[in-house]
Amino acid sequence: MKKIILLAAVALGAMSAQAQQAVEVPKFFDNWSVSLVGGGTTPIENAAFWGDMRGIVGIEIEKQVTPIFALGVEGNWGINTSYGEGVNVFDDQYVGAYGAINLNKLFGACKSKTQLFEVEAVAGAGWGRYYDKNWNDENWATGYAADHNFFATKAGLNLNFNVCKAITVSLKPSVTWNMSDATQGSLREINGSSASASYDASYAKFNLMAGVTYHIGAKGFKCVKPYDQAEVDALNAQINDLRAQNDACNGKVKALAAENAALAAELAACKNRKPEVKEVKVDNTSSVRYVYFNQGSSKISASQKPNVAMVADFLKNNPDSKVEIKGYASPEGSKELNEKLAAARAEAVKTMLVKTYKIDASRIDAKGQGIGKMFKENSWNRVSICTLD
């Protein structure tokens, strides 16, 4: 009794675990299958187990209702191995309905994919019939029965090998009981009130069959997580938090857009502003020399080289002296170009002092000053002014 209670508890626990899973409902024509079966059948008692075994063939049509449970109908026909006039091809048949429970998924987690090897427990009931035209009272004890109908039950296992998505190969051991005739002593009681259902091994046969199953339509189930209010509330909280973050980001975007507009306005104002030119007052003494340039040029012409030579002579005669060279450009052209030209003119004088007259570069400070306005004549402002110290 304790073992039965323990097994029941285990089964309930497994079914409870399955109940925590939700299965997506498939279409009606999904998970159907057709099986062709064949093998051997033999009486369990009052006969030689192997000696009296004969062939049996059958067909099954099944619908997988849930990942665990399936419903089906089947028909089995035992092949008559007797010979003689009037002998039928089949000596008995069984046609019934059955239910099948997938034990792998009953005691395991719900899985959307079918496993390579699965075991099913099968039980059913239906209509049985014996075919024997030569029956008489004398052969009742031999285990043969008259040509008549009876109520039968069946139980067994399906050992399934899922070869591919569409094909399953199975080994199907089972037992079929003749429930109507089990307590009867003669054929006269078939329609009598004394007949009752009973599981009697003397009126049972063992079937060992193999089958090939073809699956029609989609096979298997998709397990989904059931609705969980706590999880939904948590997800809603995350959504609200993301919305708040999005609003904060939108605020930052607006602030950056305003800052960008302000910078654009400032840039436009800078572009429209007139260039500022510093006026340089030159002390026209003997310590200042001028090197003039042609328009748009930073090359020292031959006429101006004596002025550079005078600066070099002064620096050589006064070893502690230094020279500051400031380059200028006239206002024609763009400000940017004139600034570069002014710097190039100062650098040209410095280069000649260093390379031609071997003056140490550390004694020379050459810088461009941009557009010059020292002279009213614009051409005079294309100059490098060398101030000696």
Contact 278, 367 (CB under 8 A): no
User: Which range, of 24-33, 131-140, 213-222, 266-275, averages the lowest pLDDT?
Assistant: 131-140
Place of tokens 């950056």: 256
**In the predicted structure, residue 284 carries a pLDDT above the cut 50:** no
Q: Mapping DSSP to helix (H, G, I), strand (E, B) and coil, where does residue 389 land?
A: coil
Q: Which residue has the higher pLDDT, 147 or 172?
A: 172
- The residue-averaged pLDDT of 159-173 equals 94
**Sequential DSSP letters for 183-241:** T-SSGGGTTSTT------GGGEEEEEEEEEEEEES--S--EEPPP-HHHHHHHHHHHHH
Q: What distance in Å separates the CA atoms of residue 344 and residue 341, rounded to the nearest whole number?
A: 5
How many angstroms from the chain centroid is the CA of residue 270? 54
Determine which of 104-108, 148-152, 341-345, 359-363 has the lowest per-residue pLDDT on average. 104-108
CATH fold of 14-224: Porin (2.40.160)
CA dist., res. 309 & res. 298, Å (int): 17
> pLDDT of 131-142, one tens digit each?
865 544 444 434
What pLDDT score does 151 carry?
93
193 has a pLDDT exceeding 50: no
Q: 344-358: per-residue pLDDT in tens?
A: 989 999 999 999 999
Give the percent of the chain with pLDDT over 90. Answer: 47
Average pLDDT over residues 324-329: 92
- Mean pLDDT over 236-248 rounds to 93
Say which residue the tokens 């280069």 belong to. 351
pLDDT confidence tier of residue 86, bands split at 50, 70 and 90: low
Note the pLDDT of residue 280: 52
User: What's the sign of the alpha-carbon dihedral 343, 348, 350, 355?
Assistant: positive
- Please check the confidence at residue 279 and state whether its pLDDT lies above 80: no
Chain segment 287-308, per-residue pLDDT in tens: 899 999 998 888 999 999 999 9
The larger pLDDT score, comparing residue 109 to residue 57, is at 57
Consecutive H or E run containing 23? strand 22-23
Strands 54-64 and 32-43: antiparallel
Q: Which of 67-71, 118-122, 212-216, 268-272 is least confident? A: 268-272
More confident residue, 51 or 44: 44
The CB-based long-range contact list for 170-173 (8 Å cut-off, 24+ gap) reads 170/35, 170/37, 170/210, 170/211, 170/212, 170/213, 171/208, 171/209, 171/210, 172/37, 172/39, 172/122, 172/207, 172/208, 172/209, 172/210, 172/211, 173/206, 173/207, 173/208, 173/209
Is 70 a residue whose pLDDT tops 80? yes
Residue found under tokens 């064949």: 38
Give me the mean pLDDT over the 101-119 stretch.
82
Angle between helices 305-317 and 335-355 (to 10 degrees): 50
> Nearest to residue 333, comparing CAs of 346, 325, 342, 324?
342
Cβ atoms of residues 349 and 291 within 8 Å: yes
CATH class of 288-388: alpha beta
Write down the mean pLDDT value for the chain.
82
CATH 3.30.1330.60 boundaries in the chain: 288-388
Higher pLDDT, residue 189 or 49: 49
Every domain range in the chain assigned CATH 2.40.160.20: 14-224
Q: Does residue 372 have a pLDDT over 70? A: yes
- 3-class SS string, 304-367: CHHHHHHHHHHHHHCCCCCEEEEEEECCCCCHHHHHHHHHHHHHHHHHHHHHCCCCCHHHEEEE
Predicted local distance difference test score (pLDDT) of residue 298: 87
Query: What is the reported pTM?
Result: 0.51
Strand partners, 41: 54, 207
